[in-house]
A and B are shown apart, each in its own frame.
Chain A
Amino acid sequence: MIWQFDIIILTLVIVSALSALRIRDLLGSAIIFGVYSFLMCLLWAGMGAVDVAFTEATVGAGISTVLILATVLHTKRRTKD
């Protein structure tokens, strides 16, 4: 792995994790969660675990986001805390 990419991706992972927790809009939170999964996928791919990266991209960034979105659209978009 190239350590410069490592640092950038890990920083973005932490930023997206914190903002997915802090953001008030649940729709935005779901999308940022997908971004988080995709960054993790890049990390796996960088470490040579291509199968894990593939699973993370399809299941984590793809289907999970869609399922969370489908649920969020049936609730209120704004969270109270």
Chain B
Amino acid sequence: MSLLKEFKVLAFLVVLVTGAVLVYAIGDFPDWGDPISPASEHVSSYYIENAIHDTAVPNIVTALLADYRGFDTMFETVVVFVAGIAVLFMLRRPKRESEVSMDVSGSPIVKTATRIMVPMMQLFALYIVAHGHHSPGGGFQGGVILGASLILMAIAFGLPSALKKISNKATVMLSALGVLIFSGIGILCMFLGGNFLDYSVLSAILPGTDRVMARSHAMLGVEIGVALTVMTAMFSIYADLASEGQLDQGL
């Protein structure tokens, strides 16, 4: 016991010293928004000046994430997909045998509020996905809100009735479809003679677009893929966690 206490004191000292070093290092940081800091000297000035001419997307953050660094974002989507699959593989078990499936839906107040809120949330999420390259937002945020609306339904009406709306099989399929949309757009660019995820060559098959607008439209496409994967992965993780992998009852 005393040994444990000594270890705790020692660990606290180590944490304290490390924290002190970190606080000391803050002095060397550039100021907030410093235009001549190392981070804003090299490529970021190019993005700020040219993103709107290159891609016709006013939100530079989305232009960066979905276009200039699309490869990075594609594998972020794959990470979310793999996380959903991993939770499924770890927690999913065969059904309990003799237990009575409890109806654990919420009170009428919760149900009515959910009925009003879920369409609003989903509409707002679709706006965030579709408008992500003009205003803050994008596939990840919109997908999470879509997933949250499904989770809200599962909490209010019970997990089985939410799974009737979007079955477990459809969840996994849609999750994979999202990754497929993202990488499919990338591979389509290769077939049209460009690099992987080089959206500007898509103007050959998108009617009425030039090379700039093609990048804007392709960004919307990949954001939809991201949103599908994130939405279904979040709901799948919640369903497995809340029912211990049985999918028979919610919280």
Question: Bound complex: CA of A41 vs CA of B140, how far in Å?
Answer: 16
Known: A67-B237, A74-B244. A54 touches B148 (CB 8 A): no
Decide if A58 is an interface residue (CB 8 Å cutoff).
yes
Q: For chain B, what secondary structure do more than half of its interface residues adopt (helix, strand, loop), or is it mixed?
A: helix
Are B141's CB and A58's CB within 8 A?
Answer: yes
The yes or no answer to B234 lying at the interface (CB within 8 A) is: yes
CA distance A58 to B149 in the complex (A): 12
A51 proximity list for chain B (CB < 8 A) = 59, 61-62, 136-138, 141
A47–B31 Cα distance when bound, in Å, is: 12
Cβ contact within 8 Å between B136 and A62: no
Tally A residues with Cβ within 8 Å of B: 18
> With an 8 A cutoff between CB atoms, is B144 at the interface?
yes
Interface residues of B in 227-251 (CB under 8 A from A): 234, 237-238, 241-242, 244, 251
B144 touches A62 (CB 8 A): yes
B: interface residue count bin = 20 to 34
In the assembled complex, A63 has its CB within 8 A of some CB on chain B: yes
Q: Which residues of B contact A70 (CB under 8 A)?
A: 238, 241-242, 251
B251 close to A58 (CB less than 8 A): no
Contact residues of B between 125 and 172, Cβ < 8 Å to A: 136-138, 140-141, 144-145, 147-148, 151
Chain B positions within 8 Å of A1 at CB level: 32
Docked pose: A69 CA to B242 CA in angstroms? 9
Q: How far is the CB of B174 from chain A (nearest CB, A)?
A: 17
C-alpha spacing A50/B151, complex, angstroms: 25
The answer to the question of A55 belonging to the interface, with a C-beta cut-off of 8 Å to chain B, is: yes
Q: In the complex, which residue of chain B has the Cβ closest to the Cβ of A69?
A: B251
- With A51-B137, A63-B234 in contact, do A58 and B242 touch (Cβ < 8 Å)? no
Taking a contact as CB atoms closer than 8 A, the residue among B61, B138, B148 that contacts A66 in the complex is B148
* A window 23-75: CB within 8 A of B: 47, 50-51, 53-55, 58-59, 62-63, 66-67, 69-71, 73-74
Give Cα distance in the complex from A74 to B246, angstroms. Answer: 13
Using A55-B141, A62-B144, A63-B144 as known contacts, say yes or no to A50 and B136 having CB atoms under 8 A apart: yes
Q: Which residues does chain A contribute within 8 Å of B237, judged by CB atoms?
A: 67
Question: Contacts A47-B32, A63-B144, A63-B148 given; 9 further ones with Cβ under 8 A?
Answer: A50-B136, A51-B59, A59-B141, A62-B144, A63-B147, A63-B151, A66-B151, A66-B238, A74-B244
Give the interface of A toward B (CB within 8 A): 1, 47, 50-51, 53-55, 58-59, 62-63, 66-67, 69-71, 73-74
A selection of 27 A-B contacts at a CB cut-off of 8 Å is A1-B32, A47-B32, A50-B136, A51-B61, A51-B62, A51-B136, A51-B137, A51-B138, A53-B136, A54-B141, A55-B141, A58-B140, A58-B141, A58-B144, A58-B145, A59-B140, A59-B141, A62-B148, A63-B147, A63-B151, A66-B148, A66-B238, A67-B241, A69-B251, A70-B241, A70-B242, A71-B241
